[in-house]
Structure 1
Amino acid sequence: MPVLETEGGAVWRKRTTGQAMARWAMWLLGVAIFIWCWQRISDATTWFFVWDAPEIAGDILGRATPPRWSYINTLWEPLWDTLNIATLGTLAALVMAVPVAFLAARNTTPSALFVRPIALLIIVSTRSINSLIWALLLIAIIGPGVFAGIVAIAIRSIGFCAKLLYEAIEEIDRTQVEAITATGASRMQVMAYGIVPQIAPAFAGIAVFRWDINIRESTVLGLVGAGGIGLQLQASMNTLAWPQVSLILLVILAAVVVSEWVSAKVRGAII
């Protein structure tokens, strides 16, 4: 800690003059960047619509109230498709994420120089692209529908599941693995009896957590044509059927709340 010499003696200071000036310079730079960014945003914004937004929102809310409850029977099948997209996509992702995780973990990869970087590349690349973008690409390749949504959810989930799983693999108790290895067990036996039992709770928690996230993501995939209840939402918005839109949003909210409750109960039972 710097000391400032004065006539009355030494005075302790938290920072030197140079450090204080550097700190103020960083603050000044941050304020300048903020002002510049705000200016760019302001120039690209039509403020008339912003000031008029509360009135427009109130008008839409009035048109959407009350919800069209008679439309509920049309939503059961799309809601079921949404649940299938989330569930099957999560299962497919877990099947692909497990080997990727073992290849990415330092203590299980067959080659830290060649194989591990490829596994990490798969994890990063699948996590970096949003599921909506994957859905748009897959619709162009395999056509619109539920299958495109399942594949989009699966690809998006691989990196998430594999990253958390390979971190759990790297944090296992090595003494248990060493004890099984000392018995003369093969590599597969060590993995089956020394590693898998230790990561099983983490794997179950990751699976349930990702399924909960995928329920949310699958509700909007229909907006780009990947099936599910989002398709009904898009159709209702295109026809300005606001009572149907409000009902669909309530159904989506209920589905998300139920999935959150189920995932919390399952995680609580696992932990």
Structure 2
Amino acid sequence: MTTTDTYSAVWQRRTPRKRLLIWTGWVALVALFVWCWQLMTENTIWAFVTDAPRQAADIGARMWPLEWGYLPELMGPLWDTINIATLGTIGGVIMAVPVAFLAARNTTPSATILRPIALFIIVASRSINSLIWALLLVAIIGPGLLAGIVAIALRSIGFVGKLLYEAIEETDRRQIEAVRATGAGGLQVLTYGIVPQIMPAFWGISVFRWDINIRESTILGLVGAGGIGLKLNASINTLSWDEVAVILLLILGTVVVSEWVSAKLRRAII
């Protein structure tokens, strides 16, 4: 009688080397997190951090009761804020449309020169926050609504341009070829083959950006670009927390209404 040793292979998801690499990666990630945390908090005054809940409760108590008599003074700045968002969105969309057509592979006249320039404009616009744009423009053209409008417009170029050029690149080539097969020229192909396909996306992107700009324009006044942010900054500087609470509630209500209007318009268009 012979005895045969039977060995059964044990399946493992990863080899020992892969497991070692994964654990090494996790250890390195934790070490990086600890190092970053120490770097960010080396100048932190922890006494202020531990006292923060008490300070927050104190400010909350000073916000009550709300100063509702201050509300009529906010209607003008609120209207300015809505105008900043609306006019800035319109200006941004107007500038973003040609940039988007230059950035799209299927519509750009030059893939080696004009397309990289258009992509750079889109990236540059998206990389700089509207508050920074407003800060720069206030220094260049002075404080006021114009600086806020231009800041919103410059910020909107990248957002609208990126989404729109992606929509252009996703158009149905068969419809474009059908228009071209009729003997249509380049402008006619653009007008009848591409534009009808991207119009729902265009309106949806524009309305969505307007909704975002309503929110962003509420804080531009903090740097002198007009709108309700000017009132917010003034109330904070004078420690009028009851007025600050009214402004914050008004901003919240405005954003909620703009979100509702934006959703209704997008559903109606798309």
TM-score (norm 2): 0.97
Question: Displacement, 1:7?
Answer: 6.8
Structure 2 SS opposite 1:264: helix
Question: Displacement, 1:49?
Answer: 0.6
The count of residues paired between Structure 1 and Structure 2 equals 266
In structure 2, the gaps of 5 or more residues are: none
Question: Displacement, 1:8?
Answer: 2.4
Residue of structure 2 equivalent to 1:3: none
Runs of 4+ in 1 over 2 A off after TM superposition: 6-9
Are 1:105 and 2:115 counterparts?
no
1:137-152 to 2 correspondence within 5 Å? Answer: 137-152=136-151
Q: Which amino acid aligns with 2:67?
A: R
Residue of structure 2 equivalent to 1:242: 241
Are 1:39 and 2:43 counterparts?
no
Counterparts in 2 of 1:120 and 1:7: CA distance versus 1, 3 Å: farther
Are 1:58 and 2:48 counterparts?
no
Residue of structure 2 equivalent to 1:197: 196
Q: In structure 2, how many angstroms separate the alpha carbons of the residues matched to 1:41 and 1:121?
A: 31
Residue of structure 2 equivalent to 1:210: 209
Q: In structure 2, how many angstroms separate the alpha carbons of the residues matched to 1:158 and 1:11?
A: 58
Are 1:84 and 2:83 counterparts?
yes
Deviations, residues 160-211 of structure 1 (Å, cap 9, x unaligned):
0000000000000000000000111111111111100000000000001000
Residue of structure 2 equivalent to 1:172: 171
Residue of structure 2 equivalent to 1:96: 95
Q: Which amino acid aligns with 1:111?
A: S
Q: In structure 1, how many angstroms separate the alpha carbons of the residues matched to 2:168 and 2:72?
A: 46
Q: In structure 2, how many angstroms separate the alpha carbons of the residues matched to 1:85 and 1:8?
A: 76
Residue of structure 2 equivalent to 1:114: 113
In structure 1, the gaps of 5 or more residues are: 1-5
Are 1:124 and 2:126 counterparts?
no
Residue of structure 2 equivalent to 1:219: 218
Residue of structure 1 equivalent to 2:22: 23
Residue of structure 1 equivalent to 2:7: 8
Q: In structure 2, how many angstroms separate the alpha carbons of the residues matched to 1:227 and 1:140?
A: 14
Residue of structure 1 equivalent to 2:156: 157
Q: Which amino acid aligns with 1:12?
A: W
Q: Which amino acid aligns with 1:227?
A: G
TM-score (norm 1): 0.96
Task: Indicate the RMSD between aligned Cα atoms, in angstroms.
Answer: 1.0
Q: Which amino acid aligns with 1:226?
A: A
Q: In structure 1, how many angstroms separate the alpha carbons of the residues matched to 2:246 and 2:176?
A: 54
Q: In structure 2, how many angstroms separate the alpha carbons of the residues matched to 1:138 and 1:258?
A: 29
Question: Displacement, 1:41?
Answer: 2.7
Q: Which amino acid aligns with 2:211?
A: D
Counterparts in 2 of 1:7 and 1:87: CA distance versus 1, 3 Å: farther
Deviations, residues 199-245 of structure 1 (Å, cap 9, x unaligned):
00000000010000000000000000000000000000001111110
Q: In structure 2, how many angstroms separate the alpha carbons of the residues matched to 1:156 and 1:243?
A: 32
Question: Displacement, 1:61?
Answer: 0.7
Question: Displacement, 1:36?
Answer: 1.2
Question: Displacement, 1:9?
Answer: 2.2
Counterparts in 2 of 1:11 and 1:75: CA distance versus 1, 3 Å: same
Q: Which moved more, 1:39-48 or 1:241-250?
A: 39-48
Q: In structure 2, how many angstroms separate the alpha carbons of the residues matched to 1:26 and 1:159?
A: 36
- Percent identity between matched residues is 67
Deviations, residues 43-67 of structure 1 (Å, cap 9, x unaligned):
2211101110111111111111121
